[in-house]
Structure 1
Amino acid sequence: MRFDHLRNHLLEFLDKGFPARQLRRLVSLDPLPGSVVGRQAPGPLAQGLLECSVLEPQSLFERLSSRREGLSEEEAVERRLVSGLNQLGQERPMSLWAHLWFCYCGPFNLLLSLMLPIAWFTEGRDTALALGAMLLIGTLLRFVQERRCNAATEKLKAMVGNTATVFRSLDEGSGLQRRQEVPIEHLVVGDVLWLSAGDLVPADVRLLSAKDLFVSQAALTGEPMPVEKFAMVRDARQSDPLARDSLCFMGTSVVSGSAQAVVLGIGARTFVGSLAERGSAAEPAPSTLQAAVREVSWLLIRLMLVTTPLVLLLNGLGKHDWLQATLFALSVGVALLPEMLPSIVTSMLVKGAVLLSRRKVIVKRLDAIQNLGAMDILCTDKTGTLTQDRIVLERHTDAFGAVDDRVLQLAYLNSHYQTGLKNLLDLAVLEHLELRHALRVDSRYRKVDEIPFDFARRRMSVVVSERNDYHLLICKGALDEVLAVCDRVRQGDRVEPLTGERLARIRAVAEALNQDGLRVVAVATAELPPSREVYGLADEQGLCLDGYIAFLDPPKETTAPALRALAAHGVAVKVLTGDNAHVSLKVCKDVGLEVRGVLLGPRLDDYSDAELGELAERSTLFAKLSPAHKERLVRVLRGRGHVVGFLGDGINDAPALRSADIGISVASAVDIAKQAADLILLEKSLAVLEAAVVEGRRTFANLLKYLRMSASAGVGKVFSVLLASAFLPFLPLLPLQLLLQTLLYDISQVAIPFDEVDAQLLRQPQRWSRQRLGGVMALVGALGALFDIATFLLLWFLFQADSPARQGLFQSGWFVEGLIAQLLVVHLIRTRRIPFLQSRAAWPLLGMTAAMVAVAIFLPMGPLARLFKLQALPWDFWPWLALILLGYLGLSQALKGWFARRCGWL
C-alpha cells in the first residue's frame, strides 16, 4: 500500500510533466475539454434545460429576468460580480503563501527538513544552519521560477481569446438595442446573443429565432454530422437535452446559418461544465514532449527505487552506522529524483512562448512548441498566406465575358443582405460598389429571406423584393456548384436555354479568367411569385446564370523568401485550397513554389488511405477540397510518419486544424478555427511562421539537451555510488554533501533555457528518439563512472585517503570532481561540436557554470568547509583533477563524435 501511495504521488507530480497543479493547466489554454464521454448531466440541470426549451419567449425572459432587446451594460456587470466569469475548469490561482508552501513540499526539501533536527543535536548549530540555508535556497529557487512562468503565461493567455456578439439594451423599456462584441468569459445568464457560421456556442443557450441553423455537437456526442436546430421544439417527448431542437450547448459550434439566443447557463453551470466536474472529461493522449518527460522521469524513479535500498544495505552492512547509511541512501534517492525536471521544462516552454510572442506568434498549448520544432510538412491555405489577403473585385461580366453592371448589382444585393459569415469576397464586392457610388440599390429593396452558405453546396442565396409582384432569388457561389442548379443563361436582354454548346463557351470564359489568376464566382437568379416569406434549399433550382464576378488577390512579396527559408529548414509546403486549380497554380507560380503534382478534391475519394498517402507525399497542390478532404490529407500524411502543421482560418479548416500535429490559425480567424488551433499568428504570413519554426526548434533543442543531461547524470551517479558503497570502508559522501552537490547542480540548470543552439541543429526538424536517449545515457553515464573511479583511485592510493580517519579528504575530493564533472556534462551534451572552442554556450549558462565551479572549489578551501564536513585539498591535488577533467572532456568528445556519426545527435 505504501508503494502504491508513493507511486500515485509521483504520478501526480510528474505524469503531466509540470511541477504544480496551477502549472499543469498551462499545457492547454483552451477553455474547453477536447471531448466529453457520457451524455447525462445531473438531474436538476437537465430538468432546468428541458423546461426552458419549451417555454414561450416571454415566459423565458421573465424566468431569466431579461428581455428580448438584451441586458444593459450595468445589469451585465452586476450579474457578473455575482455569478463570476464564464470559464470552464479554471482553477483559482494559488495565493502567494500557498504556492510557497507547495514549493517547500518537495522530496529534496522534506529530506533536508528531516535532517535538520538530527544535525542540530548530533552535529551542532552551524551544520543545522547550513541545512536551513540550503532548504531556503531550494524552496525560493522553485518558487521564483514558477511564479515567473505563471506571470508570463497569463500575459500570453490574455493576448488570445474569442468574443461573442451580444445585444445590449440602450434604455430599459425603450426596446432600443445595439450589437457589440464582448469576451466570452464576460457573458452572463440572460444575455441575448447573435450566432452565425463559424461561431463557437459560448454558453448553454435557448434559441429565440433560427434560420437554417446547423450545429456541430461532436465535442459532446461524438456524432460527426451537424444537426439542425430550431427556435421551437418539434418533439417535446425527448428526455435528452442534447436532442432538444431549441437548445445549443457550450463547446459546440455553428456550421451554417444564423440564430438569436438567450443564455441559460455559464461556466461550471453548463451541460459540459457539469460533466467535467464529475470527471467525465476524457484525458487527452500525451504529446510527444509529455511522453519524453514522463519517460525520463520514470527512468530516474526506477533507478532511485532500485539504487536506494542497495545503497542502504551496502553501507549499513559495511559501515555498521545505520543512521548515516539511511540518510545517505535517502540523499541518493533524492539526488536521482528529477524534482527540477518538470519545473525547468516548463520554464523552457514558457520562455519559448514569450520569444514567439515577440515574433507575433501566440502559443495556446505550450507543448505544441515541440511539434513546431519537429514539423516537416506544412499544409496551408492559399488566400492570405501566399497572397496579400487583400482581395479586389477586378471584373464583373455576363456569362460570355462582356462587362455587365447588372451582375455587379446582383452580387452587391447578395453580399449586402446576407447575415451569415461575410468573407473577403463579400467585403470586396461591398467596398467596390461603395467606392464607385454608382449603384444605390439597398434602399429600393427589402430582404425576404436567405439560404445560408455551407461547404457541401458551396453557394448561398438571398431572396429580395423590389416590388410586391415578385421575389428575386440571387444565388452566388462556385461556378460548378451554381451551374448544377441552372438551366438557363442570360445573354444581353435575352434568356436562353443552357445547351451543351453554350455551357462549353461559359466554361471557356471562366477558364480564361482563371488563367489570368482571377478567382471566378458565378451569379444566378430566379424570379419567384411573392406567395411566401420562407425559402429553403429546394428553391435553388431552375436558375438563370447571369454572369461572373472575378477577384484578384495579389501574391505577398514576403512569400517567396519565406518559402525558400522553409525549404532550407526541411519543411515541405503543400497548398490545400477549396479554390480552382488554375487560379491556385498561377499563384504558386507567382510566389516561386514548385508544384510537383496536383490533386483535385473530387478524385480523392477514389483512393485508399495508403494510395492517397503516397500520392500526397509526391504532390504539392490540392484544389477543390472540402473540409473532409483537408482533414483526410492531414491524417494520411501523419500516418506516413510526418509531423504535419496546418495553417487555416476558416470554418472549413477546423477539422484539419484538429487533426494536425500542430494547428496554426490567425487572430482574425473565425472562432472555431482559433479554438481548434495550437498557435495563433498575429500576422498571417509565412515569413512569421518561418521565424516561429526556427524559434520552436531552438526551444526544443534546449529541451532535448536537458532531458539527456538529466538522464545521463543520473545513470553515471548510480554506477559511481554503488561501486563506492561496495568497496569503501566509509561513506563516499556525507548526506549533507550529496544534497549540497545536488542543489548546486540544480541551480546551474536554471540557465539552460537561455542557452544558444548550434546553427546546424536548426536546419532540420528535430524529434525525440528513445534509442538515442539510451545511447547517450550509456555513453555519458559510463564515462562519468569511469572518471569517478579514476578519482577514487587517485585519492585512495596517491593521497592516502584510505581509512575512516581520512574520509574527509576523500569526500572533499570527490565532491569537487563530481560537481565539476556534472557541470561539464551540460556543455558536452549541448553540442555535437567541441565545447568552449567550436561551440560556446550562451553567457547566462557560461556564467552559471563558472559560478558553480568557483563555489565547488571555494567550499572545501574556504571558511565554510567545516559547516559541510569538508576539508582543504592539498595543492598538488588540483593539477591531477585538471588532468582527469581534461581526459574526461577529450574521451567524451571522441566517443561523442563516433556516436553522432553512427546514430545522429539530438
Structure 2
Amino acid sequence: MADDYLPGRSWRIGRLFGRRPLSVEAPDLSLTPAWTTTSKEVAANELGSNLRFGLTSQEAGMRLADDGPNIISVQRKQGIASLIIGQFKDAMIIVLMVAAVVAAIAGQPRDAAMIAAILIINAAIGVFHELRARQAIDALKQLMPNRVTVIRDGKSNQVNASELVVGDLVQIDAGGQVPADMRLIDVTDLEIDEAALTGESLSSEKSSAALSHGGLPLGDQKNMAFGGTAVGRGKARGLIIATGGRTEIGKIAALMQSGKTVLTPLQKRLARLSRKLAVAAVFVCIIIFAVGLLRGHPPLLMFMTAASVAVAAMPEALPAVVTVLLAVGARKMARHNALIRHLPAVETLGSVTYICTDKTGTLTQNKMHVVDMVTDSRDELLTAMALCSEVEGARDDENSIILQGEPTELALAEYALENGYERQQLELSQPRVATFAFSSARKRMTTVHINNGAYVAYTKGAPEIILAASAKWQEKADALANQAMRVLAFARHSSQELPASDETDGNIEIIGLVGLQDPPRPESAAAIAACKAAGIETVMITGDHPQTARAIAMQIGLADSDDQVLSGAELARLTDENFDQHVLGTKIYARVDPAQKIRIVEALQDRNQFVAMTGDGVNDAPALSRANIGVAMGKVGTDVARDASDLILLDDNFASIVWAVREGRRVYDNIRKFIRYVLACNLAEILTIFFAPLLGLPLPLLPLQILWINLVTDGLPGIALTAERAEPDVMNRSPVPPEQGIFDRDLWIHILFYGGFMAAVTLAMQYWSLIDGKDNWQTMVFTVLTFLQLGQAIAVRSEKRSIFRSNPFRNRFLIATILASAALHLVIIYTPTGQQLFRVSSLSANELAICFLVSLSGLVISEIWKLIRYRGSLGREGDILTEQLK
C-alpha cells in the first residue's frame, strides 16, 4: 500500500485512545507502513486508533476536516462555452470555415449556409460526446455505500460513508459493500467478491493475520478489503487505511482523469488531408487568377473563377459523408449487439491491430460451473452435492426451480439439479438434523441427515483437509488443480448417534472430487481464430492467477504451451526499455493492476499499434479510456466500464467485436472510395481550368458551372458511396497500418491518373468542338465533364474488382443518384430557366450522344487499369471471418 499517505500534508495522529492528537509531517512514501505485513496492533498504533473503541468523535471530526470526505473528487469541469470553442480548433473545421467565407464572397450564400450548417452539427455532436464522457468518473461514486457501521468512542453507530476517516473502526457484513480501503482485524468466514477490481473470478477468502510477504497484487492481499467491492459471505471489522481518492478505486479515478486524449486514425488522417488540400487549393487559385489576368480576362471574372475553384477543390461534403458513414455503421453494429458510444470509434475498429481483453466475464462466462468429476459412485457424489449446501430454491410462475446462494455452492447445486438431484426433494427421505457451517479455519462444511435410522454426515471442503489421509485421492486432486480448476473434495461418515462436531479422526469414506471453473464462452475460440485471420493479435490481461489464465488461453486458442505468462510482479520489475522488447511477443498477463494495464496499452501504442481494450470491471476502466478504443460488456459490466468505453457489447459476446471490426473496415474502405472519387473529380476541374489558358483555349467553364458540377457530383452520388457493402476480402487482409495516411501510394496514383485523364478528355472535347465551329462548345465541355465524373462514381465502387464482377443493383441508392444527377443536368441544358441561369444552350441528339460516348471512356480506362494493375492480387474473396462465426 504505497499510497496510504499523501506527501507534503500534515496528518494528526493520536497514538493512544483519548490522547490529545499531535501534528506531524507525513512520512516519505518509501517509509509508509506495509499494512499487509503489519500486525493489527501495530496498524492500530500507526493509525492512532484503538482495536476496541475506534477513534474519538473529536479526532474523527478533525481528520475529516483535514482529509476531506470519503468521496471520489473529480477535476474541475470544462464549461459549455469552452467545449463549444474547442470543437472549432480542428484543422479541417478551420479550412471549412474559410471555404464558407469564400463561398459567401463568391456570391454563393447557399454553399456558405450548407458549410456553416455542417460545422454547427459537428460541434453539437462533439459537445454531446464530451458531456457523455464525464459520466465515467461520476459512475465511480456509485460504488461507495451510503451508510456504514462505525465504532467511535466505543459505540456502534450508523454514519454516512462520506464521513469515514483514516483510522475509523468499521464493520462490514454479507450483502454490503466495503466503504473504503481497510486493514482487517477481526474476520468471521469473510469472502469478498473483488472481480470488479482485480478481475479474479472467485470470491477472495479473507483473514486478519499479518502476511509474511509485502508488495503482493491486490488479489493476494488476504488481510485487506478494498472500497467498492462486495461482501459475499461472513462479516468482519477493519481499520480504514485510505479514503476517497487515496483508495484503490480513487486511484483508478485519478488514472482516468489524467489520461491523455488519443486521436482516432480517422481524425489524424483527415487532419493531414485538410492541411494538404488547403495549401494546394490556395496555390492553384493564385496561379489560375494570375494566368487569367495575363490572358486578358476581366479581374472580377477571374476572381470569381478562382474562388469557385477553391470551393470545388475542398470536399466540403466530407464531414457530412463521414458522419453519415459512421452513423450507418453504428446502426449496423447495433444489429449485431455492438453499441457505439462515440461515432469515430466505428472507423477506429477498422485499424485495430491488437485486442487486449480481460478474461473474467469477457472470454469466460463469469460464473462457476462444474467441469469435471472424479468418483467411484456418481449417484452418491451428486447426492452429497445437493444435500451439503445452503442453497435455497423456489419455483417461479413456470414451475421452474430458481436457486440462490453463494457462487460456488450455487454451481454445485445447479449441476446436481440438472442431473435430477434436488435438495428439497432429497430431504423428504433424508431430513437434515444438523449443520456444521463452513469456516475459513476448518475449510469444510458438513450437514447431517437421518437415513434408514442412521446418521449420515456429508462433508465438502478443501482437498488438503478432506484427503489428508489418502495420497491416492490427493494425487487425483492435484491433477484437476493443474488444469486451473477449483477442486472440492466430498466425503461421508455414518454413525448411530448424532455427531457433536464434524471431527472424525480420518474415519470417513471419500466419495469423490469436483472440479469447478469459470469456463470459456462457447464463441470465444471462434472469435480468437477469426481475429487471427484478420491480422489482429489478441492479448489476455487479467487479475486472475497465472495458471488459470494460461489454461483458459490454451483452451480458446489464444496461446499455446510455448507462450509465457507475464505476471504483474514480473512486469513491475521490467524497465520500460526491457518491456518494449517483450510487449509484442507476450499474449498473457496475469495478476496485473489497473496502472499496469495502462502501461501495457501504452507500450503497444508506442510500438505503432492501435489497441482495443475490452473489459467489464472497475479495474478495466482506466485502460478502456486510454486505449484507442474501449470495449465494455453490456450485461455484466459495471457502469464505470461502460461509461469509459467507446463500444458496448450488449450481449457480452467477445465475438460481437469481430462484427464490429468488420463494419469498421467497411466504413474505412468507403471513406477512401469517397475521397478517391471526389478528389479525382475536383482535380479534373482544377486541371481543366488551369491548362486551358496555357494551351491557348478560352476559359472552359464559368464559375457557376464549376459549382454546379461540384454540387451534382460531390453531392448525392458521393454520399451514395457510403452505402457500398464490404469488399469480399475485407476480413482476409491485415489491418490498415496506423501510420499509413489516407493518401497512400495507390490512392495518390488513382487520383492523379483519373483526374488527369478526365481533364485531358474534357480539354480534347473543348478543342474539337471549337475546331468544328460549334457555338455551344462550352455546353458540350460542361456535359462531358459532368458525365465523366458520374461514371467515376460507378468505377470506384471497388478498387480492384471489375464492375462486371459486382452486382450493379447491390447499391441501388448509387444508381438512383447517378440517374437523378444526369436528369438534373439535362433539365439545365434543355429548359429556358436553366439555360439563362447557367449560360448554356441545347444540344442536338447527335451532340448529346457524342458527349455520352466520350464520357464512357472513363469507365473503359478504369477497367483496363484494374485488369493490368490488380490481376491475380485478389486471391480468395470469401470472408473467412464471417464463415468461422456462422
| Normalised-by-shorter TM-score class | 0.5 to 0.7
Structure 2 CA distance for partners of 1:285 and 1:681, relative to 1, 3 Å: closer
Q: CA deviation at 1:696?
A: 1.6
Deviation (angstroms), 1:800: 4.1
Name the residue aligned to 1:783: 754
Supply the distance in 2 between the matched residues of 1:431 and 1:178 (Cα, whole angstroms).
Answer: 37
In the superposition, the TM-score normalised over structure 1's length comes to: 0.59
Displacement after TM superposition at 1:875 (Å): 2.9
CA distance in 2, matches of 1:676, 1:893: 47
Match runs of 1:668-817 below 5 Å: 668-728=636-696, 730-748=698-716, 749-767=718-736, 769-770=740-741, 773-800=744-771, 806=775, 809-817=776-784
Match of 1:318 among 295, 305, 329: 295
Match of 2:523 among 555, 558, 582: 558
* Partner AA of 1:859 in structure 2: I
Segments of structure 2 that go 5 or more residues without pairing to the other structure are: 1-6, 9-56, 148-155, 167-177, 185-193, 198-216, 219-223, 228-240, 375-379, 392-403, 415-421, 445-461, 490-511, 876-886
- The Cα of 1:666 is off from its aligned counterpart by 0.9
Superposed, 1:398-477 pairs within 5 Å as: 427-429=407-409
Query: How far off its partner does 1:290 sit?
Result: 1.1
Counterpart in the other structure of 1:871: 841
Deviation at 1:293, TM superposition (A): 0.5
1:879 partner letter: A
Shift of 1:699: 1.5
Query: Alignment length, in residue pairs?
Result: 681
1:649 pairs with one of 605, 616, 621: 616
**Conservation of the 8 A alpha-carbon contact between 1:801 and 1:810:** no
Deviation at 1:358, TM superposition (A): 2.7
Q: 1:776 to 1:255 in 2, by over 3 A?
A: closer
Is the contact between residue 374 and residue 765 of structure 1 (CA under 8 Å) also seen in structure 2?
A: no
Partner of 2:803: helix, strand, or coil?
A: coil
Please name the residue that 2:850 is paired with: 880
Distance 2:602 2:723 in 1: 35
Tell me which structure has the larger Cα radius of gyration: 2
C-alpha distance in structure 1 between counterparts of 2:780 and 2:163, whole Å: 74
**2:480 is matched by which residue type in structure 1?**
L
Give the alignment partner of residue 851 of structure 1, picking from 820, 824, 829.
820
- Match in the other structure for 2:350: 373
Secondary structure at the residue paired with 2:630? strand
Deviations 1:705-727 (A, max 9, x none): 22333443343333222102433
CA pair 844-428 structure 1, distance change in 2 beyond 3 A: farther
Contact 1:156 1:363 in 2 (8 A): no
Specify the alignment match of 2:50 in structure 1: none
The letter of the residue matching 1:753 is T
Provide the residue aligned with 2:281 in structure 1: 304
- CA offset digits 1:83-113 (Å, max 9, x no partner): xx9976556999xxx9xxx999955554454
Q: Deviations over 1:42-73 (max 9, x none)?
A: xxxxxxxxxxxx9987799999xx999x9xxx
Amino acid at match of 1:776: L
Alignment-mate amino acid for residue 566 of structure 1: C
- Shift in Å at residue 329 of structure 1? 0.8
**8 Å contact 2:390–2:409 — kept in the other structure?**
yes
Of 356, 369, 394, which residue of structure 1 is paired with 2:333?
Answer: 356
Paired amino acid for 1:692: A
| Equivalent position SS for 2:182 | strand
Equivalent in the alignment of 1:128 = none
In structure 1, distance between residues paired with 2:343 and 2:644: 14
The one-character-per-residue Cα deviations of 1:13-54 (angstroms, maximum 9, x if unpaired) are xxxxxxxxxxxxxxxxxxxxxxxxxx99xxxxxxxxxxxxx9
Structure 1 residues 486-505: aligned runs within 5 Å: 491=465
Taking the aligned partners of 2:541 and 2:752, their CA distance within structure 1 comes to 47
Structure 1 pair 341/509, CA: closer, same or farther in 2 (3 Å)?
Answer: same
Partner of 1:388: 365
- Picking from 771, 774, 794, the partner of 1:827 is 794
1:141-194 deviation line (CA, Å, top 9, x unaligned): 88789989999999999999947157679xxxxx99999xxxxxxxxxx98899
CA deviation map 1:266-311 (0-9, x unaligned): xxxx9999xx9xxxx8963533211111111111111111011111
Within the alignment, does 1:343 sit opposite 2:320 as a pair?
A: yes
Which moved further from structure 2: 641-650 or 742-751?
A: 641-650
Shift of 1:867: 1.2
Counterpart in the other structure of 2:831: 862
Change (3 A) 1:412 1:660: farther
Residue from 524, 534, 538 that aligns with 1:569 = 534
2:725 counterpart letter in structure 1:
E
How far apart are 1:889 and its partner, in Å?
1.8
Deviations 1:193-246 (A, max 9, x none): 999xxxxxxxxxxx9975359999xxxxxxxx99x9999xxxxxxxxxxxxx98
Instruction: Please report the RMSD computed on the Cα atoms of aligned residues, expressed in angstroms.
Output: 6.3
Q: Does the residue aligned with 2:729 lie in a helix, a strand or coil?
A: helix
Distance 2:331 2:602 in 1: 30
AA of the residue aligned to 1:790: V
What SS is found at the alignment partner of 1:888? Answer: helix
Distance 1:871 1:322, change over 3 A: same
| CA shift for structure 1 position 747 | 1.8
Change (3 A) 1:288 1:764: same
Contact 1:787 1:884 in 2 (8 A): no
Residue of structure 2 in register with 1:481 after alignment: none
Contact 2:584 2:604 in 1 (8 A): yes
The alpha-carbon distance between structure 1 residues 584 and 519, as it changes in their structure 2 partners (threshold 3 A), is farther
Select which of 327, 331, 353 maps to 2:304: 327
Q: Deviations over 1:809-868 (max 9, x none)?
A: 343223222233233333333312123653546222222222112222331223322112
Structure 1 position 326, deviation (Å): 0.8
Report SS of the residue matched to 1:741: helix
Could you say if the C-alpha distance between residues 272 and 614 of structure 1 is closer, same or farther in structure 2, counting changes exceeding 3 Å? closer
Distance across 2 between alignment mates of 1:353 and 1:371: 12
Distance 1:145 1:655 in 2: 27
Query: SS at 1:598's partner residue?
Result: coil
Partner Cα separation in structure 1 for residue 587 and residue 143 of structure 2: 39
Residue type of the alignment partner of 2:298: D
Pairwise CA distance, 1:680: 1.8
> Is the contact between residue 788 and residue 814 of structure 1 (CA under 8 Å) also seen in structure 2?
no
1:244-323 paired onto structure 2 within 5 Å: 248=244, 253-254=249-250, 284-323=261-300
C-alpha distance in 2 between matches for 1:873 and 1:252:
77
Which residue is 1:12 aligned to? none
What is the letter of the counterpart of residue 754 of structure 1? A
Equivalent position of 1:114 in the other structure: 105
One-letter amino acid of the counterpart of residue 321, structure 1: P
Give the deviation of 1:330 after TM superposition: 1.0
| Residues 877 and 354 (structure 1), Cα distance of their counterparts in 2 relative to 1, 3 Å cut | same
**CA separation of 1:877 and 1:289: change in aligned 2, threshold 3 A:** same
1:616/1:633 contact within 8 Å kept: yes
CA distance in 2, matches of 1:247, 1:623: 27
Q: 2:517 is matched by which residue type in structure 1?
A: L
Q: Deviations over 1:327-356 (max 9, x none)?
A: 111111121123222232233223222322
- Supply the AA of the counterpart residue of 2:788: A
TM-score, length-normalised on structure 2? 0.60
Percent sequence identity is 21
Matched residue SS, 1:374: coil
Q: What are the within-5 Å matches in structure 2 for residues 230-245 of structure 1?
A: none
